[in-house]
Amino acid sequence: MRQFVLLGLGLGLSLVSAQSLPRRTPKPLAVNQWIDQQTQASTQKLIQNISPEDGAPGSVIASPERVSPNYYYHWNRDSALTYLTVLHLYRNSHGDQKKLFKQKMIEFADFSAKLQNTSALGEPKFYLDGRVFDGAWCRPQNDGPALRAVTLLAIARELKANGESALADQHLLPVIRRDIDFVKNIWRQSNCDLWEEVYGDHFYTRMVQRRALIEAAKDAAWLGEDAGALKAEADLIGADLQKFWDGGRNYFVSTLNRTGGIDYKNSNLDASVILAALHGHTDDGFIKYTDPRMLATAEKLIQTFHALYPINQAKDTVGTAIGRYPEDRYAGANFDGGNPWVLLTAALSQYYYRVANEFTAQGNERDASIAFFKAEDLLRRVQYHAPADGALAEQMDRQSGYMTSARDLTWSHAEVLEMFLARSADHPGTRE
Ligand code: NOJ
Ligand code: NOJ
């Protein structure tokens, strides 16, 4: 991978002179310099958003923004993904900071136990003291417990490997058991999607549910579960996931059997499929990053969003800014949004780094380098719109490129840090 990094850098220097896009800094930093700077900023902002002063230990605010949109809540999905990144930061840290990360991970497990005891497991959103959000909302969202189980299983493995089994047994085991039990029993049920808009069966939700069961099967003895039964259930989800391939449209669709919610998502093309490839990745060869169907979906997303967003047409030298789905209207005062998202552009970049790693492992250097350059271009798109202080919001305005909607979205910072990890040669194919 090293030769790609060097090549990518050389290319970066010539590409950053793009003139016609809105600029944050008079002279953009070289890619590696920006990565160092943004890594520090994103790490710091992510830490600020976990266990805020006015919240319970272990809670995570989706964003410090309290008005328009009010994201000052704990979401199961955002927090589980954030804590997987905290685990990765923990691995790369030392001394006091490492201790702090460990403490936070235990607090997250304890807070999760509290949430499990106060509400149905599919509840998506909570006040920071752990009470369930009682307003009207799209619920249940069944990806949350699956994502949390994946994160807590990974943390438990790390603790056990470091001789801290007692901590894992006491704080994590009971929480994971309940989440896995839930996933095992309810994965067939129709529920609300990760964008909190559509009821039905969702590719993203089923992918992460399948992964939770596969991961649990590896630790079945510890969990007091039957590995064979978990794998058999995961295989059923796997068979079901094949139905989301639409050969006519040549991409994985995001929702089947829609039963309610918004009704204008006609393309059924959604960047959550790429998130599913990442967050639902398992090392057993199931829907690999290089699966031609996944590659086709990624290409379709790029073509579609390239044509849709003005900032993507301004100049071709950085990658395509990616949104949720083409018909999206969120956010904006009059629901006139439908912008590209930071976390999705970072996720697609991350996806292509992982594609490159997988092709390399297969001895296919040619396709690996093509994928690597796509990843680099997408990373440079994020860099292009990132302000000098590293504050990454939820969205980038489709016209101006400026950060918009929820500021310092925790999930944006987490997904950008994951993009950087995927880029570094030390982190091969598997996302965990
Ligand atoms: C808030 C949700 O978080 C967002 O994803 C959605 O688009 C809007 N509500 C509209 O349903
Ligand atoms: C809206 C997104 O659609 C949803 O996925 C997320 O959980 C919330 N915002 C909070 O960040």
SS3 204: helix
Provide the token pair at 194: 């990760």
Known catalytic membership, residue 196: yes
- Burial environment of residue 96 by CB neighbours within 10 A (0 to 12, 13 to 18, 19 or more): exposed
pLDDT in tens, 168-192: 999 999 999 999 999 999 999 999 9
Interhelix angle 203-218/272-279, nearest 10 degrees: 0
193 tagged catalytic:
yes
Cα 422 to chain center, whole Å?
A: 13
Residue 432: Cβ-neighbour burial (10 angstroms; 0-12, 13-18, 19+): middle
Provide CB contacts within 8 A for 299, sequence distance 6+.
none
CA distance 126 to 78: 12
C-alpha closest to that of 152 among 169, 140, 138: 169
Q: Whose CA is nearest to atom 5 of ligand 2?
A: 195
Task: For Cα atoms 113, 45, 405, give the angle at the middle one, nearest 5 degrees.
Answer: 95
The beta strand positions in 204-352, using DSSP E, are 245-246, 251-252, 255-261
Which one of 192, 196, 395, 404 would you pick to mutate in the ligand 2 pocket, going by the greatest count of ligand atoms within 8 A of its CB? Answer: 196
Closest ligand to the CA of 330: 1
Task: Evaluate: CB of 71 within 6 angstroms of ligand 2.
Answer: yes
Task: For ligand 1, say whether the CB of 328 is within 6 Å of any of its atoms.
Answer: no
Residue 331 has what pLDDT? 87
Residue 51 phi, psi (nearest 5): 45, 60
Q: What is the pLDDT of residue 317?
A: 75
CA 372 to chain centre: 19
Q: Taking the CB of residue 177, how many other CB atoms lie within 10 A of it?
A: 16
- Average pLDDT over the chain reads 93
Q: What is the pLDDT of residues 354-411, one digit of tens each?
A: 999 999 999 999 999 999 999 999 999 999 999 999 999 999 999 999 999 999 999 9
User: Could you read off the pLDDT tens digit of each residue along the chain, which spans 432 residues?
Assistant: 434 443 433 333 333 334 445 544 456 789 999 999 999 999 999 999 999 999 999 999 999 999 989 999 999 999 999 999 999 999 999 999 999 999 999 999 999 999 999 999 999 999 999 999 999 999 999 999 999 999 999 999 999 999 999 999 999 999 999 999 999 999 999 999 999 999 999 999 999 999 999 999 999 999 999 999 999 999 999 999 999 999 999 999 999 999 999 999 999 999 999 999 999 999 999 999 999 999 999 999 999 999 999 999 986 679 999 999 999 999 877 777 899 999 999 999 999 999 999 999 999 999 999 999 999 999 999 999 999 999 999 999 999 999 999 999 999 999 999 999 999 964 444 455
Q: Is 73 close to ligand 2, i.e. is its CB under 6 Å away?
A: no
